[in-house]
């Protein structure tokens, strides 16, 4: 048996407002061709299919057209999809009954009973059971623990980790009993969307995670899982030196910080319940990105090199020179005019430092040039908050931002 593991498509994501529909379409076309070539029995998509809880009609069209083409035009027997923290559980689950008729299984959110997260997948040709899937979606704080008065932050975090551990243990126990009942030598395959301990993040992973959810130890996953397909982190990686626990990473660069990463999907082959091979399939770059930095002369020289390549390249430029250049953006735009190079974003680091560090009130920058954390740090500085209090307030701020994000998902 063969499965393909992918995650974190983030369909609909933009780069500084730049639409990427053509890029996503190219990836999905390539994905379809890869499925036709590899002939997997199962396709696993481990969360964050969409970038927001309210994807556009065009974005949803890309998703549903892909699912339909795989179901109708390939030999892939099953598609299993779980919800991620960026996904709307309601939107994913809504067409679930219809999609199931096409052998597309969607678990957008935690289920009650938990048994619904255990999928028994059969071979369409002879109806034999080929795999048991423990499809665990992104587990939210509100899914796992009840709020009690006078709880410390440490207590809340520990309860959250315990809840995740218990959920996987309970579901995998059901899978083991089901395998014994069937008397079949078939794999138990887990899916999850979370931040496992020690994982490397990518540019597109927002640093909003608080508590020990960001430190869930891979050793806590049940030993009965023969392969665990994870999503959430954008860098493909093995977790805690355990070959059978893996992040596939995102298939496209979600930000300029990921431009040098080789994106992949994973191919896992089984002999009965035992893994015989895990290999990576390189994903092509459908839109080239480049990140450059330096003083004005260095930036212009780097842009000239990119222009000479005569290919479409989106560029993020960061000015690090000491001289204050008031028309920096205009100079760089003049350099790339009438070329295939497009300047997506220009950061004037020197100007930002003047405002944030040296408190130069005469200089101005756009709010979009700053991260939320930088804006909050500036507020602390303006209000003359004592240094010994700042870290506590920063931790509280990050927790509030995270909880607001969770509230938005629950209320959608």
Alpha-carbon span 332 to 344, nearest angstrom: 11
Strand order in the sheet with 288-294: 288-294, 313-319, 341-348
What would the CATH number be for the domain defined by 2-282? 3.60.21.10
What would the CATH number be for the domain defined by 288-366? 3.30.160.720
Q: What SS3 string covers the chain?
A: CEEEEECCCCECCCECCECCHHHHHHHHHHHHHHHHHHCCCEEEEECCCECCCCCCHHHHHHHHHHHHHHHHHCCCCEEEEECCCCCCHHHHHCCHHHHHCCCEEEECCCCCCHHHHEEEEECCCCCCEEEEEEECCCCCHHHHCCCCCCCCHHHHHHHHHHHHHHHHHHHHHHHHHHHHHHCCCCCEEEEEECCECCCCCCCCCCCCCCHHHHHECHHHCCCCCCEEEEECCCCCEEECCEEEEEECCCCCCCCHHHCCCCCEEEEEEEECCEEEEEEEEECCCCCEEEEEEECHHHHHHHHHHHHCCCCCEEEEEEECCCCCCCCHHHHHHHHHCCCCEEEEEEEEHHHHHHHHCCCCCCCCCCHHHCCHHHHHHHHHHHCCCCHHHHHHHHHHHHHHHHHHHHHHHHHC
> What pTM, to 2 d.p., does this model score?
0.84
Res 239: pLDDT: 92
Res 159: pLDDT: 80
**How many C-alpha atoms does 182 have within 13 Å on its Cβ side?**
19
Alpha-carbon span 234 to 8, nearest angstrom: 7
Domain ranges for the chain? 2-282, 288-366, 371-412
Query: Could you list the mean pLDDT of each consecutive 10-residue stretch along the chain, which spans 412 residues?
Result: 97 94 98 97 97 96 97 95 95 96 95 95 88 95 69 71 92 96 94 82 51 65 96 93 95 92 97 96 97 95 97 95 85 95 86 55 53 72 70 76 55 44
Res 412: pLDDT: 44
């Amino acid at each position: 048996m063969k499965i393909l593991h992918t995650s974190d498509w983030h369909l609909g994501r933009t780069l500084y407002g730049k639409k990427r529909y053509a890029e996503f379409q190219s990836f999905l076309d390539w994905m379809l061709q890869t499925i036709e070539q590899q002939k997997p029995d199962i396709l696993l998509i481990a969360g964050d299919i969409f970038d927001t809880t309210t994807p556009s009609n065009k974005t949803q069209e890309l998703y549903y057209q892909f699912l339909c083409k795989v179901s109708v035009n390939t030999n892939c027997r099953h598609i299993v999809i779980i919800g991620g923290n960026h996904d709307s559980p309601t939107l994913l689950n809504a067409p679930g009954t219809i999609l199931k008729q096409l052998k597309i299984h969607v678990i957008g959110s935690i289920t009650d009973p938990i048994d619904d997260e255990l999928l028994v997948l059969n071979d369409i040709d002879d109806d034999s059971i080929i795999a048991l899937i423990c499809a665990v979606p992104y587990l939210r704080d509100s899914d796992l623990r009840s709020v009690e008065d006078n709880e410390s932050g440490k207590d809340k975090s520990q309860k959250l980790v315990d809840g995740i551990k218990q959920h996987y243990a309970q579901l995998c126990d059901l899978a083991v009993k089901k395998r014994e009942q069937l008397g079949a030598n078939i794999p138990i395959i887990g899916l999850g969307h979370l931040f496992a301990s020690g994982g490397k993040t990518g540019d597109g992973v927002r640093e909003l995670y608080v508590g020990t959810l960001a430190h869930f130890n891979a050793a806590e996953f049940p030993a009965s899982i023969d392969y665990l397909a994870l999503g959430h982190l954008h860098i493909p990686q093995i977790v805690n030196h355990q070959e059978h626990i893996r992040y596939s990473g995102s298939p496209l660069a979600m930000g300029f910080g990921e431009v040098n990463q080789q994106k992949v999907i994973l191919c896992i082959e089984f002999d009965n319940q035992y893994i015989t091979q895990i290999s990576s399939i390189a994903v092509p770059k459908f839109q080239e990105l480049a990140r450059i930095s330096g003083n004005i002369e260095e930036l212009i020289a780097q842009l000239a090199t990119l222009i000479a390549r005569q290919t479409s390249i989106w560029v993020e430029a960061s000015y690090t020179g000491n001289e204050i250049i008031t028309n920096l953006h205009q100079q760089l735009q003049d350099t790339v005019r009438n070329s295939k190079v497009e300047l997506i974003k220009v950061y004037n680091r020197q100007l930002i430092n003047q405002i944030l560090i040296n408190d130069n009130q005469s200089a101005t920058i756009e709010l979009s040039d700053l991260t939320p954390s930088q804006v909050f740090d500036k507020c602390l500085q303006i209000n003359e908050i004592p240094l010994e209090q700042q870290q506590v307030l920063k931790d509280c701020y990050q927790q509030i931002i995270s909880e607001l994000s969770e509230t938005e998902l629950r209320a959608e």
